[in-house]
Chain A
């Protein structure tokens, strides 16, 4: 290990059944630096951190720490804490019912069974003051803002003499001012020689505080760069794995259908939800396929969820064919002919123990109302029709949906929504985790439905797919709509530069 290095991870491998999540990843953290760990969904960031904090055990590779001879073995979060690796997670891992001081000291190995409140409160106040955290030791933690709670968690870590501080998406639930406070604290700790690993998906924040960036992609180490070496655009292209010149865009027949004078099927003005996205405008015409794009966590799903009423909206107007409507819950949206295929298939989509047939007819049944049950004959007819239409591979319509493959489950959910004959179909990551053949089927189906007059919003992490299917792309960054691309502008280069904000 070199002088000034606090942590060195080399050749880390980790496999889960069916996935080789980390393939020889390396990571080096120097004393007093803020090191951003970047990568798209599935790149292996969280697996790497979990290996480092002892939540997962590594299959291969070595971890070395300053002040420890040879490799250190970290088998549990406890071990990690003991060797000076502390983690502050996105969700606060403190107890909201206890006081600030208790949260800083509870569970730490100090002698005696008796609690000395006075000493503890005094020590806590000193640390809080030292780090300039606006909280009182005796205050109940739950009464502090999320940012302060996060800082208390950091204060605890710092007081435990940590050498490596991991901040895993610490800013996702903070507002701008709070983020600024957190950054101040991070810089302060940096000047005290703590090495900080910073995981975030906010590009602005990476450039605001970080010294170095390590990029992972598909479980592989892509490179370690100083911030100066890696301007935004290059960072985005490195994360996505697309070279700037290597962009032979496949232009296919797209259902471009956007006359200006037409009344949009759906029009949204200043829609705002509680999930942290900024108010946005949006419209879609009859027979149009458009899409939301942006990095993971940029708010693309949150936008469509707001339109569908799946998240609580706190402002804005939704118009359907020019008429103002109120959508407070998904059922309202469904009644207005909107369908939404959710991103999280397992939790928001399938009902695992129900049969393929029952999963398919579910949305239609809800729309009809439960007092008008579909007859068994109708159900069978619908199920068989769509099993054939979408080529769903299932033993029978009665098979429980959970025993189907991911792609076929997805087709069932798609069938569920097509059966309601929507005017506007939202597909959020319809092709995630399914094989290439099915992906192409779904893309073809989207274009076919659009040519028949359905309006479709398509969201995918795979930009090739979006470029191939969408005639208009709304680009998002950090919860904000930052651009709209149409026609020839829909290209890898243009999308990436818009995401990067250059």
Chain B
């Protein structure tokens, strides 16, 4: 008996050791990704157990996606810039500007939805090009450049239109209200009728972008160049990478995605308002960090960013459904969560560097 017991414990210790070894053999990016996913699953499952009802329905998860599609898209762009070692705090402003321009064009000028999308892309691209040029080729601090971009975008919004208004363009409203039902997944309502879960167009766009960017970062040369430049720009230069062009591209991608994010945003809220997307850049940064992207660059993953947005939103929902409806509670919990993730990052990453 005693023998088998010690054997059991020793094999358990061995297994534990193996898991630890396996974890240590992962790259920094994958370690942080794993932590993010595990944290999200734990959080969601505990919400299901302790908060019950609302979280048990599959639609709850879909609603999180629907509510945050624009944030997912912008946070993806932010992650690309952050992986390259930069930052872009203009994205919130760009999203708001794009949503306002689209709203004005669609409602007051009776515009076409496709043209509105092109305008959104154009505005985002313009911000990406100019900011990217200033950061990459004139070597100005990205924080300063994009801070200016943020003020510029916010200022422009009020010039265009200062009052909030709803967009009543028919084609637009139809697109906005399009629900895409996912067959076989769903729940029964209290009358016993099966209600399949649904998502909207914004979610589809967001998920497509997540997949595209994931592939770009993992399997394309330029994607790996982003990581190299973020890891050590000087080394990247010595390894024969065009550092300036890589930085430039990262800002273009981020700007473009902010443009798309703006379109998806206006599609979700259905109105133009100067207070649109307030503080979105900070949520995008927070999501990226929770998703395992490091502010110092070189480490990060788009799947992680997706989970970062989901975690951020879930924690807000949990706080709200726990009855803490005052806005400061959300702020405090997010702060605590960010802090926790930053500590985990620094322990995971720096613990190894010391060796």
* Chain A: CB-nearest residue to B30: A140
* Nearest Cβ on chain A to B38's Cβ, whole angstroms: 20
A95 contacts B235, C-beta separation under 8 Å: yes
Chain A residues, CB < 8 A from B298: 95-98
Partner of A108, one of B222, B232, B240, B299: B240
A95 contacts B299, C-beta separation under 8 Å: no
B238 contacts A93, C-beta separation under 8 Å: yes
* Nearest Cβ on chain B to A147's Cβ, whole angstroms: 13
A96 contacts B25, C-beta separation under 8 Å: no
Residues of chain B from 211 to 241 with CB closer than 8 A to chain A in the complex: 218-225, 227-228, 230-232, 234-241
Check if A99 is an interface residue, CB within 8 A of chain B. Answer: yes
* Nearest Cβ on chain B to A183's Cβ, whole angstroms: 23
Q: How many residues of A contact B (CB 8 A)?
A: 27
* Chain B: CB-nearest residue to A53: B238
Check if B353 is an interface residue, CB within 8 A of chain A. Answer: yes
* Nearest Cβ on chain B to A448's Cβ, whole angstroms: 47
Chain B residues, CB < 8 A from A99: 27
Chain A residues, CB < 8 A from B220: 113-115
Q: How does the 8 Å CB contact mask read for B11-37 relative to A, with 1 for contact and 0 for none?
A: 000000000000011011100000000
Chain A residues, CB < 8 A from B238: 77, 93
* Nearest Cβ on chain B to A116's Cβ, whole angstroms: 9
A95–B227 Cα distance when bound, in Å, is: 9
Residues of chain A from 70 to 120 with CB closer than 8 A to chain B in the complex: 77-78, 81, 92-99, 102-103, 106-109, 112-115, 117
* Nearest Cβ on chain B to A89's Cβ, whole angstroms: 8
A140 contacts B236, C-beta separation under 8 Å: no
A393–B353 Cα distance when bound, in Å, is: 47
A78–B236 Cα distance when bound, in Å, is: 12
A94–B240 Cα distance when bound, in Å, is: 11
A107 contacts B228, C-beta separation under 8 Å: yes
A112–B224 Cα distance when bound, in Å, is: 14
Q: How does the 8 Å CB contact mask read for A125-148 relative to B, with 1 for contact and 0 for none?
A: 000000000000001101100000
A113-B220, A115-B221 as given contacts; A106 in contact with B299, CB under 8 Å: no
B227 contacts A98, C-beta separation under 8 Å: yes
A117-B219, A143-B352 as given contacts; A97 in contact with B224, CB under 8 Å: no
Mostly, the A contact residues are loop
A97–B26 Cα distance when bound, in Å, is: 11
* Chain B: CB-nearest residue to A144: B355
A103–B237 Cα distance when bound, in Å, is: 12
* Chain B: CB-nearest residue to A104: B239
Chain A residues, CB < 8 A from B240: 78, 81, 106-109
B219 contacts A115, C-beta separation under 8 Å: yes
* Chain A: CB-nearest residue to B300: A97
A113-B222, A115-B224 as given contacts; A97 in contact with B241, CB under 8 Å: no
A93 contacts B299, C-beta separation under 8 Å: no
Q: How does the 8 Å CB contact mask read for A157-197 relative to B, with 1 for contact and 0 for none?
A: 00000000000000000000000000000000000000000
What band does the interface of chain B fall in when counting residues whose beta carbon is under 8 Å from A? 20 to 34
Residues of chain B from 230 to 255 with CB closer than 8 A to chain A in the complex: 230-232, 234-241
A101–B59 Cα distance when bound, in Å, is: 43
A107 contacts B239, C-beta separation under 8 Å: yes
* Nearest Cβ on chain B to A153's Cβ, whole angstroms: 9
* Nearest Cβ on chain B to A90's Cβ, whole angstroms: 13
A107–B233 Cα distance when bound, in Å, is: 12
A107-B228, A142-B28 as given contacts; A94 in contact with B219, CB under 8 Å: no
A95 contacts B236, C-beta separation under 8 Å: yes
A115-B224, A139-B25, A142-B353 as given contacts; A93 in contact with B231, CB under 8 Å: no
A104–B329 Cα distance when bound, in Å, is: 49
* Nearest Cβ on chain B to A298's Cβ, whole angstroms: 27
Residues of chain A from 33 to 78 with CB closer than 8 A to chain B in the complex: 77-78
A95-B231, A139-B25, A142-B352 as given contacts; A106 in contact with B219, CB under 8 Å: no
Chain B residues, CB < 8 A from A112: 221
Chain B residues, CB < 8 A from A143: 24, 352, 355
* Nearest Cβ on chain A to B25's Cβ, whole angstroms: 7
* Chain B: CB-nearest residue to A99: B27
A98-B224, A106-B228, A113-B220 as given contacts; A140 in contact with B28, CB under 8 Å: yes
A96 contacts B239, C-beta separation under 8 Å: no
Chain A residues, CB < 8 A from B227: 95, 97-98
Chain B residues, CB < 8 A from A102: 224, 228
* Nearest Cβ on chain A to B23's Cβ, whole angstroms: 12
Chain B residues, CB < 8 A from A114: 219-221
A115–B220 Cα distance when bound, in Å, is: 5
Chain A residues, CB < 8 A from B224: 98, 102, 106, 115
Q: Lowest 3 A-B CB distances belong to which pairs?
A: A107-B240, A95-B231, A97-B231
Sample of 11 A–B contacts (CB below 8 Å):
A92-B235, A94-B232, A97-B27, A97-B299, A98-B298, A106-B224, A106-B239, A107-B241, A115-B220, A115-B224, A140-B28
Chain A residues within 8 Å of B, Cβ to Cβ = 77-78, 81, 92-99, 102-103, 106-109, 112-115, 117, 139-140, 142-143, 156
Instruction: Contacts A109-B240, A114-B221, A115-B220 known; list 6 others, CB within 8 Å.
Output: A95-B298, A96-B231, A102-B224, A107-B240, A113-B221, A140-B27
